[in-house]
Amino acid sequence: MKIFLTTLLTLFLSLSTFASDKKSNDDVDYVALATILVKDAYYSRANDALKNVDLQDKNLDKAQYFTLQGLVKSKLLQYGESNVNFYKAIENGQTQKSIYVYVAQNSFKLQEYKNVINALDNAPELLKKTPKLMALKAEAYHRLKDDDNALGMLALLIKLHPQHYEAYRQRFTYLVTLGLYQSAVEDADVYMANAKANEQINVSFINALRKSKQTTKAIQLAQNAHLLYPKNATITVLLANLYMDKDMIQSAADLFDKASLQDSKYTKDSTEMFRRAKKYVQALYKSTQILNAKDKYKQKVAIYLEFGNYEKVASSQSALQRNGLLEDQNIVYALAYSYYALGEFDDCETHLKKITDAKLFEKAIELRKNMSKCKNNHWECAL
């Protein structure tokens, strides 16, 4: 609240100038010096200056001194000491209501939310004419889980300052927490229609609803955001993930494909989504665009296995070896299974011997059983 600091410092400067006129040329007015230093943002030096003030001086304006000390301690991030000084200033006759703003801010940083509310209650006129203070008080109530008062404060804020659209954004968060999703969406609509919300704010609204399992409402907001920002890959992917939550795999795949054109880091995801959608031609095409060789071959192996092209997996052995993928137990098992499916049991066994992962080891046992059946009675061979 820079305006409140400026008001206090202006007052201090005028008072200190008056007081310093009464001092002899040999005296130093440390309060006046500290005031100037604070104005120029030299807070440590101001703190040092105030250490030289004689608190026994009968001419010392203690209200002014303690207020200035409170400001300095606040700027030095010593919030508890700052408030101690502010309350001493009040005890010594400080009447500037803006002092309570600093007490409230310090208390919030100290997570003393009841003290935030109490401080702001002492400055009702400042509170009502300053939207950010009303929002701060609402947040303090919310942190205390007093959502009735939190929502009541925001309702009053909107009534007194209808164009302060940040209040709708803040209330959206509270309403989602309370499970009042329809009202939350209405506040999001008001905010985005009037506050010119950027991409990041849209994403925060959508993620809040998704986290609360309100997928349908999140999709509604995400679709609108996607229309507003069609080239924003983050929003495109977020909408794709929401479609995945609804098992709309093809729609998700199409969006991941679009996102991969906007940002190449989504190419791997696009390939995987086409595979899951069983669009193998598109999946293989996208896999050729993956820059990381390991990721590229992993995706190709997954795609070949998906539609049963075991020859392609087996023929990839050299490339898999060259790219260090045979250190991956899942790839080793995929290669072993492909040799098994092709009836090349010796090659299959060679790779099965490399399996040490517990879950894959159980699958390896099953493959060995099937290979034994195939060797003894080929008509019992089960793939």
- Tell me the per-residue pLDDT of 35-52, one tens digit each, with 9 for 90 and over: 888 888 888 898 888 888
Residue 380's pLDDT band (cuts 50, 70, 90) = low
Residue 18's pLDDT band (cuts 50, 70, 90) = very low
Residue 24's pLDDT band (cuts 50, 70, 90) = very low
3-state DSSP assignment of residue 175: helix
Residue 120's pLDDT band (cuts 50, 70, 90) = very high
Take residue 233 and report the two structure tokens written for it. Answer: 């890959």
pLDDT tens, residue by residue, 303-352: 999 888 899 999 999 999 999 999 999 999 999 999 998 888 999 999 99
> What mean pLDDT is predicted for residues 155-176?
95
* pLDDT attached to residue 26: 47
In angstroms, the CA 342 to CA 364 distance is 16
**What whole-number percentage of the chain has pLDDT above 70?**
91
On whether the CB atoms of residues 123 and 101 are closer than 8 A, the answer is yes
* pLDDT attached to residue 255: 95
* pLDDT attached to residue 4: 54
pLDDT above 70: residue 23 = no
So where are the chain's domains?
292-383
* pLDDT attached to residue 219: 94
* pLDDT attached to residue 311: 92
> What mean pLDDT is predicted for residues 55-80?
89
On whether the CB atoms of residues 187 and 169 are closer than 8 A, the answer is yes
* pLDDT attached to residue 30: 83
* pLDDT attached to residue 99: 93
pLDDT above 60: residue 6 = no
> What mean pLDDT is predicted for residues 178-184?
90
In angstroms, the CA 155 to CA 88 distance is 34
Q: Rounded to the nearest 10 degrees, how much is the dihedral formed by the CA atoms of 60, 61, 63, 66?
A: -40
* pLDDT attached to residue 22: 47
* pLDDT attached to residue 107: 97
- pTM for the model stands at 0.67
The string of DSSP letters for 53-86 reads: --TT-TT--HHHHHHHHHHHHHHTT-HHHHHHHH
Chain Cα centroid distance, residue 280: 36
In a 13 Å sphere around the CA of 281, the CA atoms on its Cβ side amount to 0
On whether the CB atoms of residues 3 and 62 are closer than 8 A, the answer is no
> What mean pLDDT is predicted for residues 365-373?
86
Q: Considering the domain 292-383 in this protein, what is its CATH number?
A: 1.25.40
- Nearest Cα neighbor of 243 from 267, 262, 218 is 218
In angstroms, the CA 380 to CA 297 distance is 33
Take residue 118 and report the two structure tokens written for it. Answer: 């109490």
The string of DSSP letters for 281-298 reads: HHHHHHHTT--SHHHHHH
Question: Which residues, including other chains, have CB under 8 Å from residue 322's CB and lie 6 or more apart?
Answer: none
On whether the CB atoms of residues 257 and 274 are closer than 8 A, the answer is yes
Q: Which residue has the higher pLDDT, 80 or 373?
A: 80
In angstroms, the CA 276 to CA 202 distance is 28
In angstroms, the CA 348 to CA 115 distance is 71
On whether the CB atoms of residues 217 and 209 are closer than 8 A, the answer is yes
* pLDDT attached to residue 43: 86
* pLDDT attached to residue 381: 60
